[in-house]
Amino acid sequence: MNTRKKIEHGLHYMFAVLLAVVWMISGGCVEKKQKVYHVGILSGLDFFASTSDGFKEKMTELGYIEGSNIIYDLQKTNFDIYAYRNILNKFVGDKVDLIFVFPTEATQEAKAATKGTGVPVVFANVFIEDTGIVDSVRQPGGNITGVRWAGPDIAVQHFEIMREMVPNATRMFIPYLKEYPIVKSQLEALRLAFAAEGLTMIELPAGNAAELEAEFKMKAESANSKTDAILMLAEPLCVSPDAFTVIGKFADERNIPVGGTLISIGGHEAVFGLIPQNIPVGRQAAYLADKVLRGAEAGTIPVVTAECYLQINFKAANKLGITVPDGLLSRANEIIH
C-alpha cells in the first residue's frame, strides 16, 4: 500500500471513529441524562397541610416521578413568620427549580424571598385582595402565579347560607384575627350584606384564643347581648384548635350555630362549611407548576380560582333544632349524618 492510500485509509478510519463518537453522545449508546427537578414545598398552616398531597398526586399523573425526575423538599410549620423566612431562604440558597407555597402569609414571604432570584413561585389557598401578591388575576406579574380563594364572595356566601339555616337570626358574631390583611375585604363585603338585610353584625377581633375568649365574655356580659349565630371568616385564627374550642364552647352554652368552615374539635361542631378543599386545590396548582417547569414564566400564567365545596353537618344542625332547607341540602357536596 503506497503512502497516499495509507493516508486515505487513516482518514477514513478517523472519520468513522468520529461519527461513532457523535452517534454515542447523541443517544446511540450513551443514554441522555434526564433532568431532575427540585421543588421546595412550604406548608404554612396545619389546616391546609394536605394541599401538598394533592399537588404531588397530580404531579405524578403529569409524569413527575418522585425520586426519579423530581425531588421534593417538603417543609411544614404552623403560622410562623420567622420559620417561613428561614425555610424560604434555604430553598433559594439550594437553587430549587420551583417553590410551591401556601397559604396567604407564607406566600407573601415567598414573594419577598425570591425577588430578583429567578426562582418561580406557585401558590395555593391564597387571598389576593389587599395582599399585593399579584398585579392581577390575568397577569400576576413577577415570578408568581397560583390558585386563589375568592375571599369576599365566600364570606357573603357564608352569610347567605347561615340566613337559610337560621332565617329568624337578627344578630351574628364575627370572630377573626385582628389586623390580618385578608380579613378587610371580607368584612367590607359582609357589612354591605348585613346592612341590606337589616341585620346586626358584631365583630370580635382578637390576636389569639385567650383574647378571643375575653371578647366573647365581654360581649356576653354587655347589654343586649343575645346573639343568634356565629359566622366564621376565611382566616387562620378560628380554625386553630384553641380558638375554635373557645367559639364552640360559647355557642354550645347558648345553643346557637357556628358556620363557615366545617370543623369539629372537642365535641364542638360547625353546622356547615363552604371553602375550597385542600386536595383539589393542590391538584389545580400542579397544572400551573407543570407549565412553569416546561418553561413558561410564572408571572404570565393567569391565577386560577379554587372551587368551593359545601358541607352540611346535618347531625349538628338537628342537635340545635335547626331544620335544614331542602334547597340547601340539594346544593351540598357532602351531608354529614
pLDDT digits (tens, 9 = 90+) for 183-211: 999 999 999 999 999 999 999 999 999 99
- C-alpha span between 27 and 140 (Å, rounded): 40
**Residue burial 79-101, b: 16+ Cβ < 10 Å; e: rest:** beeebbeebbeebbeeebbbbbb
Residue ranges of the domains in the chain?
A: 37-149+277-307, 152-276+310-336
**37-149+277-307 and 152-276+310-336: identical CATH topology:** yes
- The verdict on domain 152-276+310-336 having CATH code 3.40.50.2300 is yes
Give 91's contacts (C-beta < 8 A, 6+ positions apart): 40, 42, 73, 99, 113, 119
pLDDT in the model for residue 34: 84
Q: Give the HSE-up count for residue 244: Cα atoms under 13 Å, Cβ half-sphere.
A: 23
37-149+277-307 folds as Rossmann fold (3.40.50)
pLDDT digits (tens, 9 = 90+) for 227-237: 999 999 999 99
Dihedrals phi, psi of 233, to nearest 5 degrees: -90, 175
**Which three cell numbers, joined as nine digits, stand for 290?**
407543570
Task: Kindly list the averaged pLDDT for each block of 10 residues, start to end, along the chain of length 337.
Answer: 53 50 48 84 96 98 98 96 98 98 96 97 95 96 97 96 97 95 94 97 96 92 80 94 97 96 96 97 98 98 97 97 97 96
- C-alpha span between 238 and 240 (Å, rounded): 5
- C-alpha span between 337 and 327 (Å, rounded): 17
Residues 257, 229 contacting (CB under 8 angstroms)? yes
